[in-house]
Chain A
Amino acid sequence: MILQAQQIRKEFIRESRGTNCFQAVQETNLTLSGGTLTILMGRSGSGKSTLLNMLAGLLEPTSGKILLDGTDLYGLPDKELSRLRNQKIGVIPQGQTALHSLNVLENILLPCTLYGETVENSAVMELLERLEIAGLQTAMPSELSGGELRRMAIARALIRKPDILLADEPTSDLDDVNTAVVFNILKQFASEGKSVFVVTHENDAGKYADRLFHMDGGILRTGDESGNC
Chain B
Amino acid sequence: MKLKKTIAFRNLAGKPVRTMALILLTALLSLILLGGTLMVSSLRKGLHSLEDRLGADIMVVPYEATTKSELKNIVLQGNTGYFYMDKSRAEKVLSRDGIGQASEQFFLASTSSGCCSIPVQIIGFEPETDFTISPWIRKSYSKDLQDLDIVVGNDLNAFVGDTLTFYGLDCHVASKLDKTGTSFDTAVFTNENTIKMLIQSSLDKNMNDFANISPDGVVSCILINTAEGFTTEEVVNDINIHVKKVKAIQTKEMISGISDSLSGVSDIITILMVAVWVLGLIILLLAFTMSVNERKKEFAVLRVIGASRQKLAGIVMQEALLTGFVGSLVGVVVSLLVIVPFNTLIEEQMNLPFLLPEVGNIAGYAVITVLVSVVSCAVAVTFSAFRISRIDTSLILRGE
Contact = CB atoms under 8 A, between A and B. Distances in A.
B310 A79 contact: yes
A100 B10 CA distance: 10
A156 B304 CA distance: 11
B298 A100 contact: yes
Contacts of B11: 101
Interface string A94-135: 110111111000100011011110000000000000000000
B160 to A, nearest CB: 60
Interface string B277-313: 0000000000000000000011011111111111100
Given A97-B297, A100-B14, A101-B13, A114 B310 contact: no
A102 B14 contact: yes
Interface stretch (B99-107, B121-129, B208-216, B392-400): B392-400
B304 A93 contact: yes
A118 to B, nearest CB: 11
Given A50-B394, A93-B397, A101 B14 contact: yes
Given A95-B400, A100-B298, A111 B14 contact: no
Given A82-B311, A93-B397, A94-B400, A110 B298 contact: no
B394 A97 contact: no
A59 interface: yes
A157 B304 CA distance: 9
Interface of A: 49-50, 53, 56, 58-59, 78-79, 81-83, 85-87, 91, 93-95, 97-102, 106, 110-111, 113-116, 156-157
B15 interface: yes
Given A93-B304, A102-B14, A114-B7, 19 more contacts: A53-B394, A58-B304, A58-B393, A59-B392, A79-B308, A83-B308, A85-B306, A86-B306, A94-B397, A94-B398, A99-B7, A99-B301, A101-B14, A101-B15, A111-B306, A113-B5, A113-B7, A114-B305, A115-B306
B345 interface: no
Given A101-B13, A114-B7, A95 B397 contact: yes
Interface in B347-400: 392-394, 397-398, 400
Interface of B: 1, 5, 7, 10-11, 13-15, 297-298, 300-311, 392-394, 397-398, 400
A78 B13 contact: no
A156 B10 contact: no
A59 B303 CA distance: 12
B298 to A, nearest CB: 5
Given A49-B398, A93-B397, A78 B310 contact: yes
Contacts of A116: 1
Contacts of B14: 100-102
Contact of B309 (A78, A97, A102): A78
B316 to A, nearest CB: 14
15 contacts: A49-B398, A79-B308, A82-B308, A83-B308, A86-B307, A91-B305, A93-B300, A95-B400, A98-B301, A100-B298, A101-B14, A114-B302, A114-B305, A115-B306, A116-B1
A200 to B, nearest CB: 15
Contacts of A86: 305-307
Nearest to B11: A101
A102 B305 CA distance: 15
Nearest to B315: A114
For the complex of A and B, 3 pairs with smallest distance between CB atoms: A101-B14, A86-B306, A82-B308
Contacts of B400: 94-95
Contacts of A95: 397, 400
B390 to A, nearest CB: 11
A101 B10 contact: yes
Nearest to B16: A101
A79 B314 CA distance: 13
Contacts of B15: 101
A58 B10 contact: no
Contacts of A101: 10-11, 13-15
Kindly name the residue among B5, B303, B308, B393 whose own CB sees the greatest number of chain A CB atoms within 10 A.
B308
A91 B298 contact: no
B397 A114 contact: no
B304 A91 contact: yes
B314 to A, nearest CB: 11
Given A100-B14, A101-B10, A102-B14, A56 B304 contact: yes
Nearest to B400: A95
A97 B13 contact: no
Nearest to A116: B1
